[in-house]
Structure 1
Amino acid sequence: MSDLSEVKRLFPEARRNILYTAMDMMNKSDGEIRSGFERVARELGPCDLGLPNMELGVSDERIRFALDLCQELSARCIT
């Protein structure tokens, strides 16, 4: 596992791409996903979030939730 906090320290201008797994999207609660995304934004931002290989088991609603949450967190960080 990468130490992304250390990467941010060493390369503060580099933009990170955080990948969130389909398994996490299927198994974690909305609160757990929110908490994880907030931590990423706080500790690693600015960064991009990737949702690779979303499988049939991940509902459109869950993906929309994740995208809406990203938009919310981005707006909070910009203002």
Structure 2
Amino acid sequence: MGHGSKVNYLQPQKLKVWLGTAGELCVSPDGEKTYQHVKIFRTRPISAPNKYLSFRVGHTQTEQEELGVLIDLKPLPA
């Protein structure tokens, strides 16, 4: 993220997450656009492993773009 960038917080009621046919993680943050090969990273605090998860796309670290941050996993359906 560049200086002055704002964090895009993902809304659990709009977020859809599933495994694609090849086993890749797919995400639709808003129910409209779909991203494949998504990676999820834990942010701080590491003492709360189910909170503040960063969803990113891109094959290398320099190519990665953050789709947004999910504040808490609990509201997502199982």
TM over 0.5: no
Greater length-normalized contact order (CA 8 Å, ≥ 6 residues apart): 1
Q: TM-score, normalised by structure 2?
A: 0.29
Name the structure where strand makes up a greater proportion of residues. 2
Name the structure where helix makes up a greater proportion of residues. 1
Q: TM-score, normalised by structure 1?
A: 0.29
